[in-house]
Structure 1
Amino acid sequence: MLAGENENIVQIPLLVKGKLKWDFHVQELDFDASGKLWCSVAGVGLVAMESGTKRLSVVFESTVGSGCILFDKYSNIWMATEEGLLKYNTKNKTHHLYANQEIQYPISDLMFKASANELWIATNGNGVVKYNYNKDSFSLLNACLDEEKLNSNAISSLYLDNENRVWIGTLRGGVNTIEETKSPFVTISKNELTKNTLPSDFILSLCEQDSENLWIGTDGAGASLWNRKTNTFSNYSYNANNPNSLSNNFVSAILKDSKGTWFGTYGGGVCLFNSQTHSFKKYNLFNPKLKGVQKNIWVLFKCKKNILWATSPDEEGLYRYNEITDQFDFVNAGIRGIISMAEDQNNLWIGNFSKLFRFDTKTMQRREIDVKYPVRSIVSHSDSKMLVGTEGGGLMIFNPKTFERKFLTQRNGLPNNSILNIVRDKQGAYWCSTYNGIFVYNIDTGKTTSYHDADGLQSNQFNYNAALRLSTGEIVFGGIKGFNIIDTKVNSQLHAFPKLVITSIKVNNKVYDQEGLGAFGIEKLKLPYDESMLNIDFAALEYSLPEKISYAYFLEGWDSQWHYVDNIRSANYSRITEGDYVLKIKSTNAEGVWNTKAISMPVTILPPWYRSGWAYCFYFIAFLFIIYAVDKYQREQAKLKYEVRLSQDLAKQEKELNEKKLTFLPIFRMNSDRL
């Protein structure tokens, strides 16, 4: 141990049977709430260092053990031994050795999970075993998991992070994580391991029988009545030898009223289920225009006037149930290929494969709107607003008074342009199923939130007609791998913004290492001009739903706008000119909300030597020297010219003087002679 201000290493002896032992192997140690040191010593057992002493003393002998030791909040010291799991209470000095079957495997790690009041035990061969303090019992973690199990039962380590997420390291299967975040999605699907199960995962229709029972119509496997309380299925299918069986196994629509439960099938028309006799009564829908019976039924709809409507997607096929004659009467509406129905205060709204119709049942008048896409779902929001789901054209916001419309598509943030079903929850939000997950649309704010299979959906693909709001407020959507029950009260999982970090820096396609710091320790970049090709990798530390994180980056001083790159975690730049820049990176959370705070890293690209500051300083000095040299040269030349000119002037003057002397000398001589 380290002792004193100078942190000297001091060896601590172990007292065993009155003798001090200096050579022993401490496998693992932990401290209790008072700071007392507890150790697991190989070949000895559980030992502790009493306060005021500098030696270890044996508390519980165990000659063979794995060395795992843990102190919990109940003043218990847990230690793995060859015989099982030892619990030693440090307050009352009592102990208990658990030898349950679940922990008769080598124990490699221990972890206390306070939120669940459990001790997690990592074993080599039996996975993770959980000890419940309240029940004083052991259970296997795999038994508590749904479809996803641990990659391996050979567990090496356990770790609980700050978000209450458990990391499980395995010897041969990598790393698993266990989340506690409550998902709003529950998936019900066919279980191949049991006989009493959903007959098919391909769901076409849904109907609530009562608070405990739900009808499920499948594509080719008949219908099933699921009891949620007992989790049992009563399955019904077509039987050619039984005239009272379901009329066809392709159940496209189910509707319950006071008369019973109606089934619309594709290939068998309409039938009525009698819950007392468990038999089906078949109805023929005769079309006088076709002079035959229409067997392909797609929609069953009960309007506010208590009229039951049935429609066919083939030719003209609108029918109204006549309670007096107990048959369906053909309605000559002149509308072909009906695939959806709804109503507002006064009219029926009908959708087919390219148009939306307003139909007045009293006057039999209709007005059509050319949508150009199949109209799969219609929901009236108010007198002036209607939501229309189209297959391929997105979500149409339609004004039934002015017939004005606008479309929301993937460009507006929708996950897909095929809106198959629209269901309003009790909070007023609209849930929409598509071929690429589902999304929630807030009609007041225009905000959309998308969910996919990673969030717990049965898959990303959903089906026509299979949508329903239950009396509990839950919403059900059917798809190709079963159906989802959605608790709309927790429709937002409220993921926090994950921490964003730079994970890799490459310069000219080579990993950049600044003084051995690596990408995590680099705060700024300073690069020469010929190393200006950058590749920056980054990641948000979101471990639950990493695929739902979107990223954007912006090089201030170089880019004119942000680059939004979806789930791509890399920024690339080439041939950046010299200058000072700031690289900014931001991300969303799992709900797709952008974090307003971005991480940043200054980037400086140095100029080449001939454009450096020293070079420009040299250029300036050289320029001054040249100016000085030229000026000096010009001055010397001017001086030389002046001296030459002065010399010439002096010579000229001297010449003139000499000439005057020569002229004056004869005259002087002449005058002298006269004298």
Structure 2
Amino acid sequence: VTDIAIDHMGFVWIATQDGLNRFDGKDFITFPGNFDDITTPTSNQLGKIICGENNKLWLITRGGKLESLDLFTQLGSVHKKIRNQLLNNVSCVYQDSNHLFIGTQQEGLYIFGKQPAHLKKLSTAVPNTLLSNEIKSVFKDSRQQYWVLTSDGVTRLSADLRAAKSFLHNESETIRASAIAEDETQSLWLGSFGNGLFLKDKDSETFRRFKGFEHMSFPDTLVIETLLADKEGRIWVGTFSDGLYVIDKKKSVIHHLLADKNDPFSLGYDDVLCIRQDSRGGIWIGTDGGGVSYYDNRLSSFETFSADNLPANIAIEQVRAITTDQENNTWIGTAINGLTVLGKHPAEIGNYKKIGALLTDRNGDIWVGTQENGLDILDGRTRKPIKKMLPGQTIWAMLEEGNGSVWVATRQQGLYKVDKQYGELEHFDEHSNPAIAENNVRTMAFTRDSLLYIGFDKKGIQLLDTKKKQLVPVSKNIPSIFNGSVLIRSMYYTPAVLWIGTFGSGLLAMETSNGKITAITEKQGLRNNTIYGIQPDGLGSIWLSTNKGLCRLRIPSAPEMINRADMFAFTIEDGLQSNEFNTGAHYRSPDGRLFFGGIKGLTVFDPSKLSRREQPLPVVITQVLTDNQPLHTDT
């Protein structure tokens, strides 16, 4: 990728040796064209894309040929001459509302004004203008001054293009300028071929070599291909063979990013030829061999733990249960590799193989519900067993009530109320009095300490008065909504609505006052109809884990607004462990972080710090069909 440009409509244009590509966020369209890709430690000759005036895209194609593309008609033109001026070996183009600048590889700089007669040429033949005829770039700063980068320093032109002053030119050292950027403080950053990075502060009249910060140096021999000053005040430095540097002046920190074949989220290649920022803050990075890398700071809002970033002896695929202890360690139960603790000292715990549920009680002890091996209680500090109960059983869910007792939902054995000290206190199954609907209990939700919603695998929901020992069916309306049984996987209670996650039937919202049920499915905008987990964020939303990522649903102010609830989706492209999550693998820690586990690991984030930008995307009409045939028009 030799260059990237983003036009006023939001399309991303990408130049490669094999052609010109337009990306609309979903699909690519390829246009004919070939672009130079020549890089050395002392110079480069790269194809370029420049967004010009009047819906025009300027292209510098192979051999320094100047072309243009009309963004509306998509018709291209070759420009051997402009106003009878022959153009050879074009190296750069810059256009503003008043002038068109065309730099060449050997003949200096041409400046075309609005009027046909307005043509100015700057070269070494014109006294007190340029020090070299090899033009690398033209840049206009916020003070309306023009900067011309050459193979022998940089020249500043005034707004009227008359006064000129040269910088970084001396007999002892030749500075071959390569790229320039202006940050939010009006300081200028200048990159070079082999001489590193230079900085000119706002009120200074000299460029000084940037050597880094007090405790973090910056190499002064880098071959810099491209620069970007982003909207956050950081400077992105793309280099020849040394990857990408990101300079954060506010924090006095320098990040060095390199390609890593073992990290799918690393830089694509260590030769970085161009860097651009789109209107939403995303950074597009063109590399010489690794395609385009894309960075968006919303991706860093999600922290992922998987085989890609954990020691080889720590395996957390197929996460089934999550909790945290009083020392802020994260306990992860999996369906394959047992129980793991992530923290200062990651470790596997005990000889567990299959975990179904985890819970941290009010005293800090860890309850470990296994698959086919019962319930263990571990000391949260020493991680040693305290008590073992319900041998041979599979635990699907656990919920602590106000007095410290824990309700345990099982497969095929019904519902238990247990106490850490006294063991089993109560047992409810199909044959107890009162009898529950079925012995496969998937999930539970308290309304208040004495009222417990019980979600069954296939037979709906019952409400248990834990003091009076009375059961009330509350889900008689559920089967009437769908053909066949509804498989319940998760529940979350709010005073007005009980939210019910199902396997394949979407999200059900049951009004607690009258039992009315509203279904939210893919037809209403849900990304997927399988809801493995429901977790509140404490900010007025619930988060749903599915087979197609996470969905945040804003809880409506009134039940009658449920059908119009605001939903927003997040996928693996946003930094999730994968798009597929698992039943039971969801948790909210005391500090407000949300945890969701899936087939490839664990995703953790603080919803209050989630920085996803939710402004509406621009809509661009690219084609109109009449009778399934393209409509061609001049307007």
Which TM bucket (shorter chain)? 0.5 to 0.7
Which position in structure 1 is the counterpart of 2:237? 121
Which position in structure 2 is the counterpart of 1:27? 136
Which position in structure 1 is the counterpart of 2:577? 458
Which position in structure 2 is the counterpart of 1:342? 445
Normalized per residue, the structure richer in helix is 1
Q: Counterparts of 2:456 and 2:402 in 1: how far apart (Å)?
A: 22
SS at match of 1:68: strand
Whichever residue aligns with residue 340 of structure 1, its letter is T
Structure-to-structure mapping, 1:519-558, within 5 angstroms: 522-523=634-635
Which position in structure 1 is the counterpart of 2:33? none
1:45 aligns with 2:143: no
Aligned-pair distance for 1:74?
Answer: 4.7
Structure-to-structure mapping, 1:80-99, within 5 angstroms: 80-87=192-199, 92-97=204-209
Q: Counterparts of 1:267 and 1:366 in 2: how far apart (Å)?
A: 28
Structure-to-structure mapping, 1:314-353, within 5 angstroms: 314=412, 316-322=413-419, 325-327=422-424, 330-331=427-428, 332=432, 333-335=434-436, 336-345=439-448, 346-353=450-457
State which of 367, 370, 388 in structure 2 corresponds to 1:283.
388
- Cα distance, 1:458–1:114 mapped onto 2, change above 3 Å: closer
Q: Counterparts of 2:536 and 2:130 in 1: how far apart (Å)?
A: 74
Deviation string 1:384-424 (CA, Å, 9 cap, x unpaired) is 64223232333333345644434333333322332222223
Which position in structure 2 is the counterpart of 1:179? 296
Q: Counterparts of 1:398 and 1:204 in 2: how far apart (Å)?
A: 26
1:153 aligns with 2:270: yes
State which of 438, 454, 471 in structure 1 corresponds to 2:550.
438
Which position in structure 2 is the counterpart of 1:272? 377
Q: Counterparts of 1:153 and 1:182 in 2: how far apart (Å)?
A: 21
SS at match of 2:337: coil
Whichever residue aligns with residue 154 of structure 1, its letter is D
Whichever residue aligns with residue 334 of structure 2, its letter is T
Aligned-pair distance for 1:465?
Answer: 1.5
- Cα distance, 1:80–1:313 mapped onto 2, change above 3 Å: same
Aligned-pair distance for 1:58?
Answer: 7.0
Q: Counterparts of 1:266 and 1:52 in 2: how far apart (Å)?
A: 78
% identity of equivalent residues: 22
Q: Counterparts of 1:34 and 1:340 in 2: how far apart (Å)?
A: 64
Moved more, 92-101 or 458-467: 92-101
State which of 167, 170, 176 in structure 2 corresponds to 1:65.
176
Q: Counterparts of 1:210 and 1:49 in 2: how far apart (Å)?
A: 63
Whichever residue aligns with residue 140 of structure 1, its letter is H
Which position in structure 2 is the counterpart of 1:469? 588
State which of 339, 357, 361 in structure 2 corresponds to 1:256.
361
Structure-to-structure mapping, 1:229-244, within 5 angstroms: 230=344, 232-238=345-351
Which position in structure 1 is the counterpart of 2:405? 307
Q: Counterparts of 1:319 and 1:135 in 2: how far apart (Å)?
A: 54
- Cα distance, 1:334–1:59 mapped onto 2, change above 3 Å: closer
Normalized per residue, the structure richer in strand is 2
- Cα distance, 1:258–1:98 mapped onto 2, change above 3 Å: closer
Moved more, 334-343 or 357-366: 357-366
Q: Counterparts of 1:187 and 1:160 in 2: how far apart (Å)?
A: 25
Q: Counterparts of 2:547 and 2:593 in 1: how far apart (Å)?
A: 21
- Cα distance, 1:104–1:135 mapped onto 2, change above 3 Å: farther
Q: Counterparts of 1:359 and 1:205 in 2: how far apart (Å)?
A: 25
1:381 aligns with 2:499: no
1:449 aligns with 2:449: no
- Cα distance, 1:443–1:200 mapped onto 2, change above 3 Å: same
C-alpha contact (below 8 Å) 1:47/1:60 kept by paired residues? no
Q: Counterparts of 2:132 and 2:585 in 1: how far apart (Å)?
A: 72
Aligned-pair distance for 1:49?
Answer: 5.6
Aligned-pair distance for 1:313?
Answer: 0.9
SS at match of 1:122: strand
SS at match of 1:419: coil
Which position in structure 2 is the counterpart of 1:596? none
Q: Counterparts of 1:324 and 1:276 in 2: how far apart (Å)?
A: 18
Query: What is the Cα-based RMSD across aligned positions, in Å?
Result: 3.9
Q: Counterparts of 1:317 and 1:426 in 2: how far apart (Å)?
A: 31
Aligned-pair distance for 1:464?
Answer: 1.4
Whichever residue aligns with residue 570 of structure 2, its letter is H
State which of 506, 510, 515 in structure 2 corresponds to 1:394.
506
For structure 2, the 5+ residue unaligned runs are 1-110, 212-216, 479-484
Structure-to-structure mapping, 1:560-599, within 5 angstroms: none
Whichever residue aligns with residue 379 of structure 2, its letter is N
Which position in structure 2 is the counterpart of 1:589? none
Which position in structure 2 is the counterpart of 1:14? 124
- Cα distance, 1:282–1:493 mapped onto 2, change above 3 Å: same
C-alpha contact (below 8 Å) 2:535/2:543 kept by paired residues? yes
Q: Counterparts of 2:493 and 2:132 in 1: how far apart (Å)?
A: 82
Deviation string 1:479-538 (CA, Å, 9 cap, x unpaired) is 222222243335683422222223345778887665xxxxxxx43xxxxxxxxxxxxxxx
TM-score (normalised: structure 1): 0.63
- Cα distance, 1:508–1:471 mapped onto 2, change above 3 Å: same
State which of 573, 587, 601 in structure 2 corresponds to 1:482.
601
For structure 1, the 5+ residue unaligned runs are 239-245, 286-292, 515-521, 524-675
SS at match of 1:489: helix
C-alpha contact (below 8 Å) 2:316/2:332 kept by paired residues? no
- Cα distance, 1:137–1:353 mapped onto 2, change above 3 Å: closer
Aligned-pair distance for 1:325?
Answer: 4.0
- Higher-Rg member (1/2): 1
Q: Counterparts of 1:413 and 1:391 in 2: how far apart (Å)?
A: 17
TM-score (normalised: structure 2): 0.66
Which position in structure 2 is the counterpart of 1:359? 464
Q: How many residues are paired up?
A: 492
Whichever residue aligns with residue 352 of structure 1, its letter is F
C-alpha contact (below 8 Å) 2:187/2:199 kept by paired residues? no
Aligned-pair distance for 1:462?
Answer: 1.7
Structure-to-structure mapping, 1:99-114, within 5 angstroms: 102=219, 104-113=221-230
Q: Counterparts of 1:21 and 1:261 in 2: how far apart (Å)?
A: 73
C-alpha contact (below 8 Å) 1:108/1:156 kept by paired residues? yes
Aligned-pair distance for 1:103?
Answer: 6.0
Aligned-pair distance for 1:79?
Answer: 4.6
- Cα distance, 1:19–1:385 mapped onto 2, change above 3 Å: closer
C-alpha contact (below 8 Å) 1:342/1:378 kept by paired residues? yes
Deviation string 1:575-596 (CA, Å, 9 cap, x unpaired) is xxxxxxxxxxxxxxxxxxxxxx
C-alpha contact (below 8 Å) 1:375/1:389 kept by paired residues? yes
Aligned-pair distance for 1:431?
Answer: 2.3
- Cα distance, 1:52–1:220 mapped onto 2, change above 3 Å: closer
Aligned-pair distance for 1:272?
Answer: 1.0
Which position in structure 1 is the counterpart of 2:26? none
SS at match of 1:503: coil
Deviation string 1:104-144 (CA, Å, 9 cap, x unpaired) is 4432223333522x332222212222344457775424499
Which position in structure 2 is the counterpart of 1:412? 524
Aligned-pair distance for 1:169?
Answer: 2.3
Whichever residue aligns with residue 399 of structure 2, its letter is F
Q: Counterparts of 2:387 and 2:442 in 1: how far apart (Å)?
A: 21
1:502 aligns with 2:621: yes
- Cα distance, 1:121–1:420 mapped onto 2, change above 3 Å: closer
SS at match of 1:298: strand
- Cα distance, 1:15–1:267 mapped onto 2, change above 3 Å: same
SS at match of 1:411: helix
Q: Counterparts of 1:433 and 1:320 in 2: how far apart (Å)?
A: 28
C-alpha contact (below 8 Å) 2:242/2:271 kept by paired residues? yes
Q: Counterparts of 2:530 and 2:292 in 1: how far apart (Å)?
A: 37
